[in-house]
Amino acid sequence: MTLSRRHFVMGSTALALAAPASIGRAASDNLKFASILDLSGGLDIYGAAMAVTTKLAIEDINAAGGLLGREVDLKMYDAQSTIQFYTQYATQAAAGDKADTVHGGITSASREAIRPTLARFKTLYFYNTQYEGGVCDYNNFCTGSTPAQTVAKIVPYAMKKWGKKVYIVAADYNYGQITAQWMQKFVDENGGETLDVEFFPLDVTNFGPTINKIQTAKPDLVISALVGGAHVSFYRQYAAAGMMKEIPIASTTFGVGNEQTLISAEEGNGMLASYGYFEGIDNPQNKEFLARLEAKLGADRPVMNELAIRSYEGAMLWAEAVKAAGTADREPVIEALRSGMSYDGPSGTVNIDAQTNHCSMNVYIGELMDQTWSIKESFVNQPPADTQMVCDLNENPNQSTFLFENGLAAAGIK
């Protein structure tokens, strides 16, 4: 298979970090780590920072002596925000590269393109992105936050601050549609009312009609699950219409693509979000990580967000499991991960939940002011309770499914 430079990114200027230290083994003896992310196209606002931290993680692993006396080789694929390339590169990574692990996918659609392919080839897969919950797959570890961890926190917090009447806007695919249903559940449980829900394809940039509808509906707040570079237009148009001063916004997506740097301070001031990481976390691991990143990349470094930090921590969880297993072979590594593996990283302590192959994690509510998030509230060691409702890999380790409908039903969502 021939890959053009546009399709295959490895060691580019945008990702320039110091080269990993050589351990003195033949390249053919190295462990193989494959990354598949959107480094171009409309979803590159997420993939760019994830690629930086993925490369940093492999550099850190190799600088510490590698794994089992072997260096780790990183091969990084650019899926260009195109699902076809995800399937193509997952096959290449598993069957061609013989990768020991693949970390990748941003949208739910890209995850579902990768996941069955890697399960078929028995290649260990990490999905390091926040998502809608419901994956139940022995071969797949999901390190990102789910609605029970973040949506459940931001909805009551925002309603207590601003009021009970809610208008929801979301991306028109699995994540947006399912997350909007979780939002409505938490609005209802907290005594609120959802006035309307609107969904938008990822390439939509004109939100004028919707802003007019919001003005007419007069909600107390808007909750957004919009996704991608095109949807940043919503926040600009909303602020231009004078709406930020009238009807504030809480979001489950704004900030994980560093959207706050793409709009002015005035356009974003006062927005709320909830994630498993903000830069303002006060722990030694986070301070050390940010200082090292600053030293390597200086002013060009991206702002760190949940997706970027989970990419780093996901790689480190895999590395810790390889060391614990004494091998990079898939089954022993999975067993090590599911044995109660944890990692103390920039976000705090993340713990693998063996029932679901998801993570329990700290969760934070942030408020945006002058393009910087400040942490307003913290919640320690929150479990992936939504996925726990429908997934028990201890009981049935042969599962390899996406049970979002079961999860909604179990939560009483119709």
Please give the chain's pLDDT, 414 residues, in tens.
233 333 334 333 334 333 333 333 345 689 999 999 999 999 999 999 999 999 999 999 999 999 999 999 999 999 999 999 999 999 999 999 999 999 999 999 999 999 999 999 999 999 999 999 999 999 999 999 999 999 999 999 999 999 999 999 999 999 999 999 999 999 999 999 999 999 999 999 999 999 999 999 999 999 999 999 999 999 999 999 999 999 999 999 999 999 999 999 999 999 999 999 999 999 999 999 999 999 999 988 999 999 999 999 999 999 999 999 999 999 999 999 999 999 999 999 999 999 999 999 999 999 999 999 999 999 999 999 999 999 999 999 998 898 866 555 555 666
Q: Is the domain defined by 151-251 classed in CATH 3.40.50.2300?
A: yes
Neighbours of 379 (CB within 10 A): 16
CATH architecture, range 13-145+281-362+382-410: 3-Layer(aba) Sandwich (3.40)
pTM over the 0.85 mark: yes
Distance between start and end Cα atoms, the chain:
45
Rounded Cα–Cα distance for residues 313 and 170 (Å)? 28
Residues carrying CATH 3.40.50.2300, the chain: 13-145+281-362+382-410, 151-251
> Cβ distance 83 to 36 under 8 Å?
no
Residue with the two structure tokens 């029932």: 355
- Which candidate, 393, 365, 360, 387, places its Cα nearest to that of 377? 365
